[in-house]
Each structure stands twice: as structure tokens, then as C-alpha cells.
Amino acid sequence: MNALAKRIKVKRRGSVFTPKDFADLGMGRSALDKSLARLAQRGEIRRLAHGIYDKPQISRALGPLSPAPDDIAAAIARRDGHVIGPTPARAANALGLTTQMPAKPTYLTDGTTRTLKIGGRDVLFRRAARRNLVGGSTPVGQVVQALRYLGRDGVDQDTLDALRTRIPVAQRRRLRDVAKDVPAWMAPALESLAAVDPAT
């Protein structure tokens, strides 16, 4: 088993990747593309689109499942060297603050606005200023975007209490690091969420 096959063997089911993710193996691009194509032909991975593959999860009832939009978006961002983050509505939904969800998986990016069809799914990237991508696709970025969705008048003590139960302590501590980079009205909310009981 070559180095590429070994790397893919240990990937979790549902992983999405591109040739760039294996650049450290020292294979030429042509050899890498051919190796990925062979693995796809053997059914060990699946080709979703040109240069994008996954190691699909398998359902006994449905067969290979579609990868998660977040995994697709992250792979594309790594390939293209872009910062991405969830839209405010998507972040608020993920944190249980709203039931609203975009019809299409949509992500903010410092790249160009475009829609890609990957694995039969449309994934929309919408260009945003870097100041609106604080935290990127990390849990910290998710909190920032969720607060942006709620707006200055929508963040109250009940909201902060709810977020505290949904954000791991380690991530809450990191919110203070970005407080200086967000709108002034949002900084106190991040400081409050970052405050952790010393006994915790």
C-alpha cells in the first residue's frame, strides 16, 4: 500500500479532499491524479467533481451518502487558499438560535462569489470583506456570525446564557482574542461569553 492509500485509509468516512491535501507526500501532480483516479475506480473513494473526492459514508438502506456541505466547503477553501465562514443565518441555526436556514448551503469567503455543483449539491460562496470573516470557519467564527445575525438589539442575557451551554469552555476562552476585531456593540457579548468560572 503506497503512502496515498495509507493516508486515505485512516481518514474518517465522510471526509472530502482534493489533490492539494496530499502535496506533502512529494508525488507529482500527474501521479497523484492518476492514483486518486485508481482509488476511485476501485470504489475506495468517490469523485465528486473535477479534483474533489470523498470517502463516503455508507448507509445500509441508501448506499453512499452525500458529504456534509461544511466538509465540501472546507476542502474547496483549502484547495483555493481562501478563508471561509458560515453566513450569519447558518451560524445562528447551527447554534440553535433560529430555525431559519438558507435553501442552498451558503458560505462567506474572501474569494469570488460563485456557485459550485459538487456531488449533485449546489454550494454557494458569497464574497465578504475580511472584517466580516473574523474567526473564519472555526467555532469562534460561528459565534461571531450568529451574533451578527441577531444584531445589536437581539443579543440579551437569555441569548448569552443559551450560548454558554452550547459552546465548549475552550472555545469560549478564545472569543476574547477576537473581541478587538468585531463591531464595538458585539465586543461586550464576546467578553461576557469568554468569562469562565475559574473552577470550570
CA–CA separation, 191 and 6 (whole Å): 44
For the chain, the structural domain boundaries read 3-64, 69-194
Is there a contact between 80 and 86 (Cβ–Cβ < 8 Å)? Answer: no
Write the DSSP assignment of 111-132 as a string of letters.
S--EEEEETTEEEEEEE--GGG
Residue 121 pLDDT greater than 90, yes or no: no
* Average model confidence (pLDDT) across the chain: 91
Question: Is the predicted pLDDT of residue 200 greater than 80, yes or no?
Answer: no
3-64 domain in CATH 1.10.10? yes
State the average pLDDT over residues 113-134.
92
Rounded Cα gap, residues 107 and 84, in angstroms? 6
- For residue 199, pLDDT beyond 50: no
pLDDT given at position 101 = 80
Report pTM.
0.85
Grid cell of 157 as nine digits: 442575557
| Tens of pLDDT, residues 160-188 | 999 998 998 888 989 999 999 999 999 99
Q: Is the model's pLDDT at 31 over the cut of 80?
A: yes
- State yes or no: pLDDT of 74 exceeds 80: yes
Q: Which pLDDT score is estimated for 102?
A: 77
